[in-house]
Amino acid sequence: MSQATEAGQVAPARLPPTVDTGAIAWLRKNLFSSVGNSLTTIVLAGLLVWLAVWFIDWALLKATFQAESGQACVGTGGACWALINDKLRLIFFGSFPYEEQWRPLLAILAMIAMLVLSCDRRMWNWRLAIVWAIGSFVTFLLMFGQIHIPVTLIFVVALLAGAGGYLLRRATAPDMERIAWIVLMALGALYLVLRVAGVIRGAAIPVAPFEYVETGLWGGLPVTMILATYGLAAAFPYGILLALGRRSNLPLIRALCVGFIELIRGVPLISLLIMASFLLPLFLPPGVSFDKFLRAQVAVILFAGAYIAEVVRGGLQSLPKGQFEAADAMGLNYAQKTAFIVLPQALRVVIPPLINTFIGFFKDTTLVLVIGIFDFLNTANAALVDPKWAGFPGEVYLFAAFVYFCFCYSMSRYSKYLERELNKGTQR
């Protein structure tokens, strides 16, 4: 429609304004903003379409899902998923006794349930400790079949729980709660003193509902999840302590923490695994030995803790000095200031690098092959040893990559969710 000007002349009709919202506007702005961007978009889109068509044809349309051997897949031009179907139990559970493989399956489900509950912020209290205690007991009972719980371990946990609860809650808890923490700590200390003095003999509580399976027969996904889950769960508080020790005002503690962190970070994980497996037994007294799986777990904990310590130290250094001064002005002791003021803010800052460290160590569990432990990737590789399925490594490694992707992508998405939720108070 034409418009009249002040001089009475008729102005030419103008086009409507460009739409700034919607899918077309986004495409115009991000993909077709110039000739070069348009050409790049068209070329890449064509390449992606070609790859998608080829992959669907190879993985689904021409694929073989049922076969007795790899010979049936030769010449089809498609994937041989029959290999995965035939070797699925070997890939997931390794050499665990075939009739008992329902146990590692339930152990995997127990660990996944435990981790899912841990992701719920409503569980970040005393209930989380109960979830991990029950989940860990169920997991290792299913894997071992028989567990003998040392009574000494129970009282050590009681001592640590009582001491930690009293230090953190003595200023704010009611009198009955403080008394309960003191009694729990006193019972643990009294038992340990009597145990060291020889007044009380060591005892264990047996729980043996299933047939015992040694760790040498473990393999597959349960091994990967146990090494990663419990390795990182133990390395996280240990790494926090190293980070706090590195920033300590006591020169001896600071020097020990710095030396330990730099020593562990200065060598590859594979060297720690080899030392734990082959060199450590040489320094032990005759007749004393530790399970190979436990030695690998300790090596993973030591290595992961050193890296987590540096990540947490970066978060501690990012906090303004006023936060520490405000905590001191409130009359909080060191434990309360660290637990309630300093660490929550520092850990919120380092969520992305922390999750990145977790993802990296989840994948680094494949290195335990050098000491004879078969994790998920290595049991998948063992499926190719069978001569009747030789010649199809792509399907096996693609399936293993898909499983790793599911776990790593889940951690990545949870990291984004957690970062967004914890930063709501600082967003404007």
Whole-number pLDDT of residue 260: 92
Whole-number Å distance between alpha carbons of 43 and 51: 12
Indicate the residue type of 315.
G
Beta partners for residue 375, in sequence order = 220
**What are the structural domains, with CATH classification, of the chain?**
23-61 (no CATH), 221-385+392-428 (1.10.3720.10)
* Percentage of the chain exceeding pLDDT 70: 93
Both tokens of 215, joined, read 């760790």
- At 6, is the pLDDT very low, low, confident or very high (cuts 50, 70, 90)? low
Mean residue pLDDT across the chain = 87
pLDDT tops 90 at residue 124: no
- At 111, is the pLDDT very low, low, confident or very high (cuts 50, 70, 90)? very high
Render pLDDT for 169-225 as a digit per residue (tens, 0 to 9): 777 778 888 888 899 999 999 988 888 888 888 788 889 899 999 998 999 999 999
Beta partners for residue 11, in sequence order = 3
Q: Which residue, 235, 414, 257, is CA-closest to 308?
A: 235
Render pLDDT for 27-39 as a digit per residue (tens, 0 to 9): 888 888 888 888 9
Q: Where are the alpha helices (DSSP H) in 247-364?
A: 251-265, 269-274, 280-283, 292-318, 321-329, 334-337, 343-349, 351-364
pTM of the complete model = 0.85
Hey, how many other C-beta atoms are within 10 angstroms of the C-beta on 29?
Answer: 12
